Structure formats: C-alpha cells, structure tokens
A and B are shown apart, each in its own frame.
Chain A
Amino acid sequence: MIPTPAPGFTESSGTLESRPPLAQHPLPVLLGAEPCVCGRSAGPPPPRSCLPPRALHLPPLCLPTQGQNMSLSVLEGMGFRVGQALGERLSRETLAYREELDILKFLCKDLWMAVFQKQMDSLRTNHQGTYVLQDNSFPLLIRMASGLQYLEEAPKFLAFTCGLLRGTLCTLGVKSLVTASVAALPACKFQVVIQKS
C-alpha cells in the first residue's frame, strides 16, 4: 500500500497570512500538523487502526478530530489514485518533461484545464523545490460562499484535489507533498514540496 500523507490545512486569518513551511514540522506527514479546522466531530469514528499521536507542541485550539483527519486522509488517497491515472492519460501528447518547472506548469495549465475548465491563477516558487499554486476562484468552493463563512468546511473540498496533484506528479516521476490552505473562500493555495529521495 502506498502510504498516503494527509494534507494539512491551514485556516489562516486575515492578519496571519503565512504558514510555517513544512520543513519545520518534525513529521511532515503528520495529520493535523497545521492548525486547521475547529474540532468538530465528523461522525462515528472509523473502524481503522489509530493514527500516530500528535506532537505536543501543536497549538491547543482548532485541532481536527481524529475522525476528520481520517476522512481527509481517505479523500486525499482517493485523489491520489485518480491523479495517477489522469496523469497517464493527460500527458500522452506531451512527454519527456525536462524540468520540474515544466511539470508544474503542466499541472497549472493542462491538468487544471482538464479538471476544472480553467487555469491556475498563479504559480510561485522558491526555486528550491517548493511551489505555491494559487487559485483565486476554486471551482469546488465557489458555490459555497465568499469570505470566511464555511472556512472550516473548506478542507473537505480540498483534500481530494491535493491528492489529485500528488498523484499526477507521481505519474510524472516526481515525489511530492501537497497541502492546501484557504484564507478566504473561494481563493485557495496549494503548496507542493518536492521530495528529494
């Protein structure tokens, strides 16, 4: 089984825009490593083995429940499967990407166009393996609300897409970690960190 790192989601308020980069977290795949949704129960706990315990240095507020983490992880895993297959089918015409940047551009243009009928609004990078893809009107969020209403529901709609990105990158030969953050609906950012193996 491919271990599926769960996406971490940030609910950053208007004033606190930046998130700590993933490298600072001791366990990059730790579920709930980012402060995110308020701890609302997602329903009966799923019949699965326990998740690894959270590190103690996490802020006490706004931690997701275990059930919620699990659902996000499951969604991300499903997105990963779909992304792997989509990556194969979409990139048939254009093979042999030379650079990481070309691959990320493919995600922003071709993948997003195929899946959401629009392109990503901006792509930024630190040229050291971290890319931030910004979508100002993410189609899965645009029908919900604008602004801060339903901010805590947003991760459910982003998890699958994070997996989609990660899966497509995997097919294209790039190991990565994808997380998403929402400051205000419907704009969201996907952070892709390339894993050097």
Chain B
Amino acid sequence: MSRPTHRRPEYRKINKDLFVLTYGALVAQLCKDYEKDEDVNKYLDKMGYGIGTRLVEDFLARSCVGRCHSYSEITDIIAQVAFKMYLGITPSVTCNNSSRNEFSLILDKNPLVEFVEELPAGRSSLCYCNLLCGIIRGALEMVHLAADVTFLQDRLKGDSVTEIGITFLKKPEEKKYRRKK
C-alpha cells in the first residue's frame, strides 16, 4: 500500500522569514483568541508540547548523540545540538543549583523575535516564545524525563537577557539514562 515517494533532500530548510512571520501570526491569533496572557502562554506551551513529542524523534534520527549520563550533559545537548539544528543558535548553559538539576539556557540571539519590537500593549506578561518551553518539555518527556521548563527572563519584557530555565524533576541517579535529546 505504499505510494511512490519522491527522492527529496533530507534536511529541507524553510525560508526563515516565513517561519518567523508565521510564528508571529500564530501568536497574534492566539492573542485575539484569548484575553489573558496566562491562557496564551499556556496554549503556546501546549502546542509546543505536541511539537516536542514528535520533534524528538526527528532529532534523535538526525543527530548522533549517544547516551547521556547526567542532566548537565542533556542540557548541553539541547543547547549545542538541538537548538543549533532547528534554530541555528547556540544558547549558553548555566547550572543554577548545587544538586545539578536546575539549568538555564541563555539565548543571546533569538530568531523568533526578529520582527518583534515590543510586546503589544496590555500584554506585558506574554511569553512570546513559550512554544520553545513546550517543545523542550515534550521532547524530554518522550525520553522519560520529566522537567519544568519556563522563561526566567525575557528581553521582550525588559530583562537584559532571555533565559529559559529547565528543572529536571527527578533526582539524578547512578543508572544510565535512556538515549536522549
């Protein structure tokens, strides 16, 4: 029952403007649909979760990451391999606590906000890129890692940097982790 497929180049790139503009149109539409910022943020996170659960398959297929042995390795891979692959940027990673399960990704450049000058009036707590948080959360969950992912700082809200916080919800153990993003 398989239909003949064309040979296509494997890693198709998309026009960057189209991607960024479409994301903007998506957020704008959500702002029209929901009055409260929290609802928009929540919905973006939910959409991102759906994307992340599927994206992780593509990521694992295209990257050659081996097993990870610690949360910090995982976060490094997210920042240096995954972000690079899908967004073309490499955020820097910092660890926020001594038990090594809270990390931050500091985004120097964020292509998604290229055409955004400022948040719309009355939307001061909108997390414009909350889709990213959902994606990370969904992807991690597909490899059996529960995590809380939120924006800790956001340049669009006036902070100096854009910072995504990842908190892994289980204590690190000695056993090997599943092959992960």
Contact = CB atoms under 8 A, between A and B. Distances in A.
Interface of A: 46-47, 74, 77-79, 81-82, 85-86, 89-90, 114-115, 117, 137, 142, 145-146, 160
Nearest to A78: B25
30 contacts: A46-B33, A47-B33, A74-B29, A77-B29, A78-B22, A78-B25, A78-B26, A78-B28, A81-B21, A81-B24, A81-B25, A81-B28, A82-B18, A82-B21, A82-B22, A82-B25, A85-B21, A85-B115, A86-B17, A86-B18, A86-B21, A90-B17, A114-B15, A114-B17, A114-B18, A115-B15, A117-B12, A137-B6, A146-B3, A160-B22
Nearest to A88: B17
- Chain B facing A: main interface SS: helix
Q: Which of A47, A79, A81, A160 has the most CB of B within 10 A?
A: A81
A162 to B, nearest CB: 14
Nearest to A145: B3
Contacts of B6: 137, 142
A46 B17 CA distance: 30
A89 B25 contact: no
A149 to B, nearest CB: 10
Question: What band does the interface of chain B fall in when counting residues whose beta carbon is under 8 Å from A?
Answer: 10 to 19
Contacts of B18: 82, 86, 114-115
Contacts of A82: 18, 21-22, 24-25
Contacts of A85: 17, 21, 115
Given A78-B29, A82-B25, 19 more contacts: A46-B33, A47-B33, A77-B29, A78-B22, A78-B28, A79-B25, A82-B21, A82-B22, A82-B24, A85-B17, A85-B21, A85-B115, A86-B17, A86-B18, A114-B15, A115-B18, A137-B6, A145-B3, A146-B3
B103 to A, nearest CB: 34
A81 B115 CA distance: 13
- Chain A facing B: main interface SS: helix
Nearest to A80: B25
B44 to A, nearest CB: 15
Contacts of B33: 46-47
Contacts of A78: 22, 25-26, 28-29
A114 B21 CA distance: 13
B25 to A, nearest CB: 4
A67 to B, nearest CB: 13
Nearest to B13: A117
Contacts of A86: 17-18, 21
Which 6 A-B residue pairings sit nearest by Cβ, starting from the closest? A78-B25, A82-B21, A81-B25, A85-B21, A146-B3, A114-B15
Nearest to A149: B3
Q: Which of B12, B17, B25, B33 has the most CB of A within 10 A?
A: B25
A176 B91 CA distance: 43
